[in-house]
Amino acid sequence: MVARGDQLELEIDSAAYEGTAVARLDGLVVFVPYGVPGDRVRATITRKRRKYVEASIDEVVSASPHRIEPECRHFGLCGGCRLQNVEYEQQLEIKRELVKELLERIGGVQTPEVRPTIPSPRRYHYRNKMEFSFGTSRWLTREEIDSGEELQKGFALGLHIPKRFDKILDLEECHLQRPPSAEIVNRVREYVVEKGWPAYNSRSHEGYLRNLAIRTGSQTGEIMVNLVTAFHEPERVDGLTSMLLEAFPSISTIVNSINSTRSPVAVEKEIICHGSGQISERIQDLAFRISPTSFFQPNAYQAGNLFSEILRMAEPMQDSLVYDLYCGLGAISLFLAGACRDVLGVENHHESVRMAAENAELNGIENCKFVAADAVEALTPEFVRRNGKPDVLVLDPPRAGLHPDVAKGLLRMKPKRIVYTSCNPATQARDLKILAGEYEIRAVQPVDMFPQTFHIESVVALELG
């Protein structure tokens, strides 16, 4: 039996979902963060549960041939890039195996054929949106604590430490978003600390600064800075705007979003401080306008490959009606439009529906219609009577997957073909198990939208049995 604090020598044999590695000790599963399959490590047990234990690496005794030196100085702290110490080809194989394992274990699909993961054209500097948090409790690194220097502990701007909503790492560099994202973060931090502006405290719900979101047009170079605050202070925002435009003249637009609620994601008002309040992006031949709150694929370099795979799996005919549920800004809808008669995009976020219609007009596409509705509403007999029954249905739900009523609606509607895209293969596998009685899995294609992280996009084609 092992106990917390025991030091063991372990062989890392595989990777688990959410970016941790797996070793086995006399049949006991040991989860080892930042291990690489093929490593031999010396590790200390940090947590013990009935069916597994967790351990942290003290020393890599023998490194895996797939282990590499991470690019970022914050690796191992912020938790964003859990696979940055794994060579990219092995990351792709790890993700393919994870999709396969989740389909088998959660979805009950026996040995599904999972195609090799489609690699991202860019391995770094690919994200077009990053959101950073202000906070009143800064995480101190071991080096900072050991330095003996007097440190600023009551203010931070960066990313949350994993599993600690109240602790924020002051992020000085990040290799996921294009420059000058990290430089903007550092300059904003310097400016607001100098001015003495208070960060929002998530416990007491007091303070001013909540989030700093940066969007970049991967193909256009346009930059949006969105400062989220608890209330509007015109003089403060005007000063920050002037500073940013002087320091970074490439910034296209600056927005101040107001959120006075206790919800971390609510937006009550958007105040445009500079520019149009939107940026533009291109994916292959399509152009898009993006607002501060609208969802868009975070890796535009890879999105074209993802959309091509969805189109290939959908196999629409020229006379087909296609429903696109959770359509967001309409990117997938517009991509499918040229291959079918009509596309109906469904989205419950009204701003996104408005933007989707604008994007259709921007691209001169006339056979796409967008409606503001919940996905479950689009699967009701009344909705189908008004809009027609789809020959093909594509869906890309949030990480939580399908609401049970949506799954029931799909089984009731019975479109001939479903293409289910998900950024969470665990909830996707759960939903596929519900649909298994009526639908057969024809193809599974992982697409790497998030290099260096454990996240993976999984596209599954389903055919009515």
pLDDT at 294: 86
351 in Cβ contact with 291 (< 8 Å): yes
Topology (CATH level 3) of domain 129-283 = OB fold (Dihydrolipoamide Acetyltransferase, E2P) (2.40.50)
End-to-end, the C-alpha distance of the chain in Å comes to 49
Total-model pTM = 0.94
Model pLDDT for residues 18-43, shown as the tens digit of each residue:
889 999 988 899 999 999 999 999 99
Q: Which helix (H) or strand (E) holds 110?
A: none
How many Å apart are CA 115 and CA 112, to the nearest integer? 9
Comparing C-alpha atoms, which of 130, 114, 168 is closest to residue 450? 130
Model pLDDT for residues 415-426, shown as the tens digit of each residue:
999 999 999 999
Q: Which residues make Cβ contacts (< 8 Å) with residue 99, sequence separation at least 6?
A: 114, 425, 444, 446, 456, 458
Q: What are phi and psi of 21, to 5 degrees?
A: -105, 165
Model pLDDT for residues 73-92, shown as the tens digit of each residue:
999 888 789 999 999 999 99
What token pair was written down for 91? Answer: 């990351």
How many Å apart are CA 411 and CA 436, to the nearest integer? 10
Q: Which helix (H) or strand (E) holds 19?
A: none
Compute the average pLDDT of residues 433-459.
Answer: 96
Asked if pLDDT for residue 139 goes beyond 90, the answer is no
Model pLDDT for residues 296-306, shown as the tens digit of each residue:
999 999 999 99
Do 7-67 and 129-283 show the same overall fold? yes
Q: Which residues make Cβ contacts (< 8 Å) with residue 107, sequence separation at least 6?
A: 428, 429, 430, 432, 433, 436
Topology (CATH level 3) of domain 100-122+297-464 = Rossmann fold (3.40.50)
Catalytic residues: 423
Domain locations along the chain: 7-67, 100-122+297-464, 129-283
Compute the average pLDDT of residues 202-222.
Answer: 95
Pairing of strands 223-229, 253-258: parallel
Compute the average pLDDT of residues 111-138.
Answer: 94
Asked if pLDDT for residue 152 goes beyond 90, the answer is no
Computed over every residue of the chain, the mean pLDDT equals 94
Give the right CATH number for 7-67 from 2.40.30.10, 1.10.10.10, 3.40.309.10, 2.40.50.140.
2.40.50.140
Model pLDDT for residues 294-335, shown as the tens digit of each residue:
889 999 999 999 999 999 999 988 999 999 999 999 999 999
Asked if pLDDT for residue 151 goes beyond 90, the answer is no
